[in-house]
Amino acid sequence: MRHALVRGVSPAMNRCELTHCTREPIDIERAETQHRAYLTALEESGCRVHVLPAVPELPDCVFIEDTAVAVGATAVMTRPGAASRRPEVDAVADALRDCLEIVWIVPPATLDGGDVLCVGRTLFVGASGRTNSAGVAQLRSLVAPRGYNVVSVPVTGCLHLKSAVTAVADHVLLVQERWVDGDAFSGCERIEVDPREPGAANGLWIGDKILFPAAYPYTAERLRRRGLRVRVVDVSEFAKAEGAVTCCSLIWDDSSAAGR
Ligand code: GLY
């Protein structure tokens, strides 16, 4: 069974962290409607969806991906680079504890889950404004005994590594080469985003399809032409908060957690 942990939309999302985007008003009701449709898409993609309530004091709490990295039977609880986001982590650890072994990133390290891209047994980790070298080093020592290796990848011009590159099939990556050097991902096929859609590199590969933002039809067409199945979801309100489709869920499989 595949699981997805999600967290509700904070009524304070208009006070979210912003790094590369200009602040625009977020329609919270519309964000909640989009979130419900996203949850339906996860369910229809075969996930059992678990919902943590939103916290009014935590504007970015819907972006749950940043709080943990599921690696096999283990959840690595992060220490987000934005101090305002660190209080998001404890409740996520409590929600995962029954399913996954919990280990922690500790100071002075910072690590955002949005900076971690798993391809096979390799975790590519963005050296971004949110993840520091101590975060990369701690992650490496936590996952090495579990059979995973870590490769640090420079990222510029965007928030997270997964703003610039995501997996859309086994060893197939969707890449924005302006923000990350595609040659860092040796052994992977690369599909470039359509040049008219610079922010289109974030897709959520799940089961036999990719959940993909409705805002990027040209890149969606590139994925379809490559033979991949795309399910479009409208995440326009989350994009205003510098989020996209991977950030709103934390996904793990029972099969990888079995035997812990
Ligand atoms: N607003 C999402 C973030 O900056 O972490």
Instruction: Write out the DSSP string of 30-48.
Output: HHHHHHHHHHHHHHHTTEE
Please give the pLDDT value at position 258: 55
Indicate which atom in ligand 1 lies nearest the CA of residue 241.
Answer: 1
Q: pLDDT tens per residue, the chain (260 residues)?
A: 999 999 999 999 999 999 999 999 999 999 999 999 999 999 999 999 999 999 999 999 999 999 999 999 999 999 999 999 999 999 999 999 999 999 999 999 999 999 999 999 999 999 999 999 999 999 999 999 999 999 999 999 999 999 999 999 999 999 999 999 999 999 999 999 999 999 999 999 999 999 999 999 999 999 999 999 999 999 999 999 999 999 999 999 987 665 44
Q: What is the CA radius of gyration of the chain?
A: 17
Q: 18 alpha carbon to ligand 1 midpoint, in Å?
A: 6
Q: 19 alpha carbon to ligand 1 midpoint, in Å?
A: 7
Q: Which CATH number belongs to the domain containing residue 224 in this structure?
A: 3.75.10.10
Give me the domain span that covers residue 103: 2-257
Indicate which atom in ligand 1 lies nearest the CA of residue 18.
Answer: 4
158 is a catalytic site residue: no
Please give the pLDDT value at position 256: 66
Domain count, the chain: 1
Which of 16, 47, 160, 248 is catalytic? The answer is 160
Please give the pLDDT value at position 253: 94
Please give the pLDDT value at position 259: 47
Calculate the CA 68 to chain-centre distance: 10
247 is a catalytic site residue: yes
Q: 159 alpha carbon to ligand 1 midpoint, in Å?
A: 8
Query: Given ligand 1 and candidates 131, 160, 242, which is best to mutate, with the most ligand atoms within 8 Å of its CB?
Result: 242
Give the span between the Cα atoms of 154 and 125, in whole angstroms: 8
Give the span between the Cα atoms of 3 and 42, in whole angstroms: 9
For residue 258, count CB atoms less than 10 angstroms from its CB and return exposed for 0-12, middle for 13-18, buried for 19 or more.
exposed
Whole-structure pTM value: 0.97
